[in-house]
Amino acid sequence: MTDDEYEPIRVSRRIGAPARVIFPILADPGRHRELDGSGMLREVVSGTTICGVGDVFVMKMYFDELGDYQMINHVVEYEPDHRIGWEPEAGRGHPNAEPGAERPARWGQRWSFVLTPDGPDATVVTEIFDCSRVPENQRVDIDYGNIWIESMAETLERLERAVRAAREPTRSVLSSSGPESRSWGTDQRVKFTAKIRPPVFAA
């Protein structure tokens, strides 16, 4: 598949909260394990709340084939309450971080979240996996990103639960204020988008 044919993998979910409530959760590396739908994140090694492009945070990871290792995440997209994204780099314990490794430590894949308002009190959150900068032979190894679709959907579901928990005190106050209190409804629809998807390879 050529670069012109490839389109990043996108998974979207409508969450019943404004972007200003959702964005700080995504910008806090300390909460990424809570949101992780892949089951690979373990804990933050270093890094605090993301404040802009150029920030770096390090996560401890686990994968059956690699065991424990670290990923160094470089923030490459940052628009408050709208967009945030980072490019991972292999860190301590990862074979690509070793001297003379066959593949580079930073191979170009990017994880991003885009927040789009949908009415006065709801946001469509889209998680994007973009491996357009990755060499073709490595894109094949990950089925052009299709291997992540299920875990991306799980991440957005976890994000919605985190947002609900963050808003619960406010909801309780509003519920006790009488018939004029508002209901924080959510739409459970999840949207998957991939322009071209080769067959998913069995593990």
pLDDT in tens, 60-72: 999 888 889 899 9
Tokens of 39: 């089951």
Alpha helices in the chain (DSSP H): 19-26, 32-35, 136-141, 149-175
Among the listed residues 167, 77, 89, 148, the one whose alpha carbon sits nearest the alpha carbon of residue 113: 77
For the range 145-150, what are the long-range contacts, defined as Cβ-Cβ under 8 Å and sequence gap of 24 or more?
145/8, 145/9, 145/109, 145/194, 146/9, 146/194, 146/197, 146/198, 146/200, 147/200, 147/201, 148/9, 148/38, 149/9, 149/11, 149/192, 149/194, 150/37
Tokens of 37: 């739908």
* Cβ atoms of residues 10 and 33 within 8 Å: no
Domains and CATH numbers, the chain: 9-193 (3.30.530.20)
pLDDT in tens, 25-41: 999 999 999 999 888 88
DSSP string, 116-147: EE-STT-EEEEEEEE-TTS-HHHHHHTGGGGG
Per-residue pLDDT at 197 exceeds 70? no
Per-residue pLDDT at 23 exceeds 90? yes
pLDDT in tens, 134-192: 766 676 666 566 677 888 999 999 999 999 998 776 554 445 444 443 333 444 445 55
pTM for the model: 0.79
Confidence tier at 193 by pLDDT (50, 70, 90)? very low
